[in-house]
Structure 1
């Protein structure tokens, strides 16, 4: 594959690394960049070329994927000094991050001024979905750009085209994550209350999932990560706080009052303040258990 056909991938962490790996294993030539030297070494061993900078990726690849942790980091990588916007080869940026619609629109406008299209494509499904290629991809962008990327998306999961403007994918992803994190918070409270009242958690789970209380937490996270006490879903509480914060802010900007969303946001933020930022999101139930025991906020 020629240099012009190489695919760039910037940000190969918990989500980006397995996605990049799948693209390599599907036969695509990747040039990758991340501050984590171990992540670069792992992908280099699979055949990727490790770049020394964002600019090197943007000078090499026509299509660049980004999977980055925060709006500020995404903005810097995309439009900062020697960022993607300065690249001589890049024509399409595919952003897999969760950064919010306002940031995505701002960055897309700056890139378009330099002739670079943006496909806003946040993903859902966690690290396990990234590894298995079963992610839900919420893509928004110009139809021609989305069509050019479609075959690459199919390596990563199932693509849902949600609009033709950057930012629309971000809004849908934030709404999805807000539903997920709110469901997990209230499910944690329900399970802790049930156990304190003498109910068997396995029986509770079976009843919830046979009735109207079932949700993503009762169907997936509680049986796999909570009742087993492994707490290894692979998504930290700090990232939940970022996503639900962005979601609530965007919904309020649209005129929605967000009484429930704000309450869930407070629960997650309080857990993060108790030294929980890096803990797995499924460990929230341990905070609820502790708060319910009368021992105070610390876990």
Structure 2
């Protein structure tokens, strides 16, 4: 996600400084016109506004608050986090950064790799008004903004709820799809009818039409990330006193699929897993 987002910033005339643990990711950005720096600390010492796109709460906390992290930077004044790491980690980081005179703008994105490349991401934004206003033109380079609230962490809750709904819709659609095919239905006709009726969803209209029916299974979001996000979502909801009967069942399904078939597989390959589990069943 970070590569296409940074590319949109470059295309809009921004000076972009980059650091990533992946040499290949850095090389791709320098070829596009960005300047590479050797560390997180170097970025924080050189840039007033720093964007982060990180894979887990632990990595997020380390990059923002750990030794050599953004909190100790000499130049940084606003950190814009595009990750999905949960409200607890975000609230804590926001509080610590503010003690260092740094604002945290909580700005998780939705829309997948395709939305990032097209610049059509949904950007859920929470943070202090002045900081959000300063970075809004930058965020609008790659998506549509939804102002959630004044506290970092509020956008995280919305993003997690969104991802939980998305992964739940895909899971139940996958089960229905496999059952229909095993029952002799034509896959194209079945999905066209569902998408014209009350059973349609973002999963049926997008992922099934673009990645499942062609059997490309290349949406660009791994099963492991689904498991991480739905786990964080359920923790947030249960902390709010909401009994997560359906959410917990869906989490079990995704975790089982990851353990059985691999956490790095594309999330749309859940269909293949369900097909395999269904072999011989009558």
TM-score interval (norm. to shorter): over 0.9
2:50 to 47, 59, 64: 64
Which residue does the alignment assign to 2:183?
197
**Distance in 2, Cα, partners of 1:248 & 1:78:** 24
Partner of 2:192: 206
Q: Equivalent residue for 1:220? A: 206
Q: Which moved more, 1:204-213 or 1:171-180?
A: 204-213
1:39 maps to 2:22:
no
Out of 226, 233, 248, which is 2:234 matched to?
248
Specify the SS of the correspondent of 1:137.
strand
Q: Which residue of 1 aligns with 2:4?
A: 18
Specify the alignment match of 1:118 in structure 2: 104
Q: How many Å apart are 1:207 and its aligned residue?
A: 1.3
| In structure 2, distance between residues paired with 1:22 and 1:36 | 20
Instruction: Give 1:75's aligned residue.
Output: 61
* Counterpart Cα distance in 1 of 2:87 and 2:145: 18
Q: Secondary structure at the match of 1:59?
A: helix
Q: Deviations over 1:200-237 (max 9, x none)?
A: 11111111111110001110000100010000000000
Superposed displacement of residue 276, structure 1: 1.7
Q: Please give the alpha-carbon distance, in whole angstroms, between the structure 2 residues aligned to 1:276 and 1:263.
A: 19
Displacement after TM superposition at 1:275 (Å) = 3.3
Give how far 1:153 is off.
0.8
1:1-299 aligned within 5 A: 15-294=1-280
Please give the alpha-carbon distance, in whole angstroms, between the structure 2 residues aligned to 1:46 and 1:178: 34
Mapped to 2, the partners of 1:127 and 1:46 lie a distance apart of 18
Once residues 276 and 180 of structure 1 are traced to their aligned partners in structure 2, the CA distance between those partners, rounded to angstroms, is 20
5+ long unaligned stretches in structure 2: none
Q: Flag as ranges the 4+ runs of structure 1 deviating above 3 A.
A: none
- 1:294 & 1:138 partners in 2: Cα distance? 45
Aligned partners of 2:127 and 2:151 also within 8 Å: yes
Distance 2:250 2:85 in 1: 19
Residue 46 of structure 1: how far off its partner (Å): 1.9
1-structure distance, mates of 2:227, 2:8 = 28
Gaps (5+ residues) in structure 1? 1-14
Residues 261 and 273, structure 2, Cα contact 8 Å, conserved in 1: no
Larger mean Cα displacement after TM superposition, 36-45 or 216-225: 36-45
Cα-Cα RMSD:
0.8
Query: For this pair of structures, how many residues does the alignment match?
Result: 281
Distance in 2, Cα, partners of 1:237 & 1:94:
26
Cα distance in 2 for partners of 1:294, 1:71 equals 41
